[in-house]
Structure 1
Amino acid sequence: MASIIIHTDNKKDISLLKELAEKMGLSSHILSKEEKEDVNFAELMKQNNETDNMLKEDALEYYRNLKKK
């Protein structure tokens, strides 16, 4: 199954696209704010390069040093 995401703030456009999908026999779903955030978060996770991440030990050391200042 393939999917498409179309972004618009215009409620008329959303209604028109949903109606068009239904007339074409396609299923459609309008994403809630939370669902949109989940999609964006998933995309960011895909783009994450693990080699850019700090080791847990280094992160703990960094935060311990912040408390001392």
Structure 2
Amino acid sequence: MASIIIHTDNKKDISLLKELAEKMGLSSHILTKEEREDLNFGELIKQNNSEDNLLKEDALIYYKSLKRK
């Protein structure tokens, strides 16, 4: 299955695109704000380079080295 995401803030355009998809026999779904955020978060996870992550042990050493006020 292939998918396409089209971004628009115009509700009229969204309705037109949804209607066009239905006339073409395609399924469509308008994403909620939460679904859009989930997609964006997923993309960020994919882009994460694990080599850039701080090891837990290194983080603890750094935290303990900070002066407390």
Q: Does TM, normalized by the shorter one, top 0.5? A: yes
Q: Distance in 2 between matches of 1:41 and 1:67?
A: 34
| 1:4-61: CA deviation from partner (whole Å, max 9, x where unpaired) | 1111111011001100000000000000000000000000000000001111112233
| TM-score normalised by L of structure 2 | 0.88
Question: Percent of pairs identical after alignment?
Answer: 83
Aligned counterparts, 1:1-69, within 5 A = 1-66=1-66, 68-69=68-69
Unaligned runs of 5+ in 1: none
Unaligned runs of 5+ in 2: none
C-alpha distance in 1 between matches for 2:15 and 2:66: 51
Q: Distance in 2 between matches of 1:37 and 1:19?
A: 25
Amino acid aligned to 1:24: M
User: How many residues are paired up?
Assistant: 69
